[in-house]
Amino acid sequence: MATEIQVSFLIFTNDDDPNSVADKLSYKPQLIWFKGNIIGKSLIKHKNSGLEYKNDMIKEIELEKEINNLVEPLWTHKDEIIKIIDSNNYETELSIVLYIDENELPILNFPNALVQKIADLRASIDIDIILI
């Protein structure tokens, strides 16, 4: 199995209705969830409600490219996204899941400009690395 990457930008809406938050955004999320919903195929439940923008899981070894593919559309709407985040004290996260084949070495590079954009979107970074 080849290395696969999944990159997501999450906005945690606390106890606010994520549908009403999404309605205020011109760039619509791919997924909306509520506190208590099951996460994926696991038995784990969401601790809060939120919105998710994500790329499709792809076979790729250049992480920077995939992060840019997700961040650039968000960046074009950054003013409205930041306004909603700041005015409601929402937390955000850039979630990266790497499924790494033992025979591949993915390129994990975070240039300054990319890190600055992630920071400007108020996001922390969570990286999960799964060896397959």
Convert the pLDDT of each residue in 7-39 to its tens digit: 999 999 988 999 999 999 999 999 999 999 998
Note whether residue 32 is domain-resident.
no
95 vs 3 pLDDT, higher one? 95
Per-residue model confidence (pLDDT) at position 132: 83
Q: How far apart are CA 19 and CA 32, in angstroms?
A: 7
Structural domains counted in the chain:
1
Note whether residue 83 is domain-resident.
yes
> Can you tell me whether residue 88 is helix, strand or coil?
helix
Note whether residue 118 is domain-resident.
yes
Q: Whole domain around residue 64: which residue ranges?
A: 4-16+52-131
> What's at 4, amino acid-wise?
E
Among the listed residues 39, 45, 21, 7, the one whose alpha carbon sits nearest the alpha carbon of residue 128: 7
Note whether residue 24 is domain-resident.
no
| 3-25 burial: b if 16+ Cβ within 10 Å, else e | bbbbbbbbbbbeeeebeebbeee
Note whether residue 113 is domain-resident.
yes
- pLDDT, tens only, 66-117: 899 999 999 999 999 999 999 999 999 999 988 888 887 777 888 999 999 9
Note whether residue 110 is domain-resident.
yes
How many alpha carbons lie under 13 Å from residue 103 in its C-beta half-sphere?
Answer: 2
Per-residue model confidence (pLDDT) at position 41: 73
Note whether residue 25 is domain-resident.
no
| 71-97 burial: b if 16+ Cβ within 10 Å, else e | beebeeeeeebeebbeeeebebbbbbe
Per-residue model confidence (pLDDT) at position 100: 85
Note whether residue 41 is domain-resident.
no
Band of pLDDT at residue 60, cut at 50, 70 and 90? low
